[in-house]
Copies of this chain bind each other. A is one copy, B any other.
Amino acid sequence: MSEFNIRRASEEDVDEIYRMLRELAAHLKEPDAVTTTPEKLRQDQKLYQCMVAESMTAGDSASKPLLGFALYVYKYDACKGQMAILDSFYVAPENRSRGIGLSLMKAVEQDVAECGCSQMEMLVHDWNARAIEFYLKRSAVNYTDQMHWHIYRIPLSNISKT
């Protein structure tokens, strides 16, 4: 039997996903980046897709701890049509090098390809060598380098919400 199982997240997983999301933010040197809450992630569950990796060797069936997660969304692109965005991808440090990330990634790729996406986009810190190596092995292309695309964000919090 495999040590882990990849499956679609359910409502019961949201607290664990939130815990891992905060771990991921700390790992990415952005510990204050998470402004959502478990309640909000639960309420917004129809707005995103999520796959989780659960342990098959620890605990009973009601309390299998989660080892990692991949949260992704769909985005329409006027030039390319439907695309996917891999928003968050995480395997806890103690669970790495066991093929969990690769299995998670393959499950996500399969799911978004089945939904008609020809590409999946992700934002990666340029110092995150481990993540870059992982994505390059999945045939990822760095569009910042190749296409000279830079990411800009406009804050909208000062615009009156009428």
Q: How far is the CA of A151 from the CA of B132 in the complex (A)?
A: 11
- The secondary structure that dominates the A interface is mixed
Contacts of A125 in B (CB 8 A): 147-150
Identical copies in the complex:
2
Q: A21-B78, A35-B80, A73-B76 are contacts. A153–B127 as well, Cβ < 8 Å?
A: no
Q: Note all chain B residues with C-beta closer than 8 A to A126.
A: 148-150
Interface size class of A (residues with CB under 8 A): 35 or more
Alpha-carbon distance A127/B32, docked complex (angstroms) = 32
Give chain A interface residues in 138-155, CB to chain B under 8 Å.
138-145, 147-155
Supplied contacts A78-B87, A121-B154, A141-B152, 20 more A-B pairs, CB within 8 Å: A30-B147, A33-B79, A33-B80, A41-B78, A48-B78, A71-B78, A79-B88, A109-B154, A113-B156, A114-B161, A117-B156, A118-B156, A120-B154, A121-B151, A122-B154, A124-B150, A126-B148, A135-B154, A142-B152, A144-B144
